[in-house]
Chains A and B, each alone.
Chain A
Amino acid sequence: DVKVTQSSRYLVKRTGEKVFLECVQDMDHENMFWYRQDPGLGLRLIYFSYDVKMKEKGDIPEGYSVSREKKERFSLILESASTNQTSMYLCASSLGQGGYEQYFGPGTRLTVT
């Protein structure tokens, strides 16, 4: 059974802290994605990666960075957390280029106080 796991379900951080969100997939997928989900705004793509050490900006990359050192792991980094980054963060993976289905992790609810 395919699996995407995220390091935390709930996280509370203070303004200005550096925050790491980790995502691991066990399907040997090429692509990995980070989204944030906010009420009324749907899913917004932050960054994605199509190969190890390769990354592309999504629609809202400001205030975020990513790291993909190994194929199975994709990290989202908030360099200096702010209250407007309070959100649900979803990680996903997919096989390759060509519109393939994405498999999602359970999400991390991040609160920045």
Chain B
Amino acid sequence: GEDVEQSLFLSVREGDSSVINCTYTDSSSTYLYWYKQEPGAGLQLLTYIFSNMDMKQDQRLTVLLNKKDKHLSLRIADTQTGDSAIYFCAEGNSGYALNFGKGTSLLVTP
């Protein structure tokens, strides 16, 4: 399938902003998603963006999409210890399944 790439780890201090990056290769993507997985749990949809949008903001979360470079980012403002989790980027197109990245482990330190 098409590739979705993310860095594996990110560490930030509590109160700072976190930026998690993702690149994808499928130019026919229609939706791009960010999922959060807390330890021992399933994936929970955090937010999504349509491929014809550049930005979406939802409280502390900001999603930026650069369609030309096929680059997606998730910014978490005022990061808290409860934000420590694995974050997955995923892209969807005309098919049935989503293509997931391997996930970025975010560690928030006090």
Which A residues are closer than 8 A to B by beta carbons? Answer: 4, 31, 33, 40-43, 45, 48, 50, 56, 58-59, 90, 92, 94, 97-107, 109
Contacts and interface: CB of A to CB of B under 8 A. Distances in A.
A104 B94 contact: no
Given A42-B101, A101-B98, 18 more contacts: A4-B42, A40-B8, A43-B100, A48-B96, A50-B96, A90-B42, A98-B30, A99-B31, A99-B92, A99-B95, A101-B92, A102-B43, A102-B90, A102-B98, A104-B35, A104-B42, A104-B44, A106-B42
Contacts of A103: 45
Contacts of B82: none
A100 B94 CA distance: 9
Contacts, number: 67
A102 B45 CA distance: 8
